[in-house]
Structure 1
Amino acid sequence: MDRIKVRQAVQADTEQLADLRALVLREDLTRLGRYDEIRVRERFRNTFHPEHTHILEQEGILMGCVALKPVEGGLLLEHFYIHPKYQGKSLGTKVLNLLLEQEEVRGKGITLNVLQGSPAQRLYERFGFIVDHEDEVDVFMTRNN
């Protein structure tokens, strides 16, 4: 990814990433009647683990983040947010390619959830994720390697 720096997240990134989450999810959560300015950030803070999170930057500007966390039975892909300014430019595709090519990811099942009606679901389907189950807010997907 040309000129894009991928770095390990640190605890000091928490608020900037919580704000990114709020920005990225606002439209979908509003459509679902679930957007809450405070809660959207709190949910990030409560599940953020910098040791499992990577940040995408270009010339010091935050472009996105992604977390891949070990869980029982495989890995959990979460907090995959691309700043709206950089969406639609194949950045999500490039990031998923890089993640799925990692040695520690090969052979492991990956789970994730995406908001109902989110265009991100199509991206995950292109990478072999299938719908496991869903509720009125989320679509839960899995990919077995």
Structure 2
Amino acid sequence: MPFQTPTVVLTPAQLGDAEALVALRIEAMRDSLQRIGRFDPVRARDRFLSGYVPQHTRHIDSEGKRVGFVVVKPQPDVMLLDHLYIHPAHQGKRIGAAVLARVIEEAAAADLPVRVGALRGSDSNRFYLRHGFGLIEAGEFDHYYLRPCASPA
């Protein structure tokens, strides 16, 4: 039986959604940050809230449940995938892949490559490599990837 791509609905976030998004981000990053000894929920909260822009943020709903969020910030020469978090209870169900495919389609329509950063040691590094991203920079705590512009379908 072939694995089906999940149905994913992206809905705009509102200013008042910030605290719920922060809680989801902290839960999604907890294991990765603990592995490298950098889990600090206060720092994670402050870092997210300092750059929160509701108009670039969308909730991810799948099978009638809110399971994550994505933040895409268009820039003049690149589409910045600033955040993509799926609640740990819903990871491994291809939801992130479906959202990433949508982001790549949007970037292709704008004729832009996609840039993303991932915490060093996080499983997300393999995820981005599997989806056509190439490593462009390795920092002390993060790796940065670029996916060249794909032709619109």
TM over 0.5: yes
Q: Is structure 2 residue 34 aligned with structure 1 residue 30?
A: yes
In structure 1, which of residues 131, 134, 140 is the aligned counterpart of residue 135 of structure 2?
Answer: 131
Deviations 1:102-128 (A, max 9, x none): 266542022110011111112211221
- 2:62 is the counterpart of 1:93: no
Q: In structure 2, the residue corresponding to 1:38 is in which secondary structure?
A: helix
Q: 1: distance between equivalents of 2:125 and 2:107? A: 24
Aligned residues: 144
**1:17 counterpart residue number:** 21
TM-score by length of 1: 0.90
RMSD: 1.7
- In structure 2, do the counterparts of structure 1 residues 105 and 42 end up closer, same or farther at CA, with 3 Å as the change threshold? farther
**Aligned-residue offset at 1:94:** 0.7
Unaligned residue ranges in structure 1 (runs of 5+): none
User: Which residue in the other structure is 1:53 paired with?
Assistant: 57
Q: Select the residue among 133, 136, 145 that pairs with 1:141.
A: 145
Deviation at 1:72? 3.9
| Residues 12 and 57 in structure 2, CA contact (< 8 A), matched pair in contact too | yes
Do the aligned partners of 1:100 and 1:106 also contact (CA within 8 Å) in 2? no
Q: Deviations over 1:19-43 (max 9, x none)?
A: 0111011111111111112111111
Q: d(CA) in 2 for partners of 1:89 and 1:58? A: 10
Q: 2:45 maps to what in 1? A: 41
Identity over aligned pairs, percent: 35
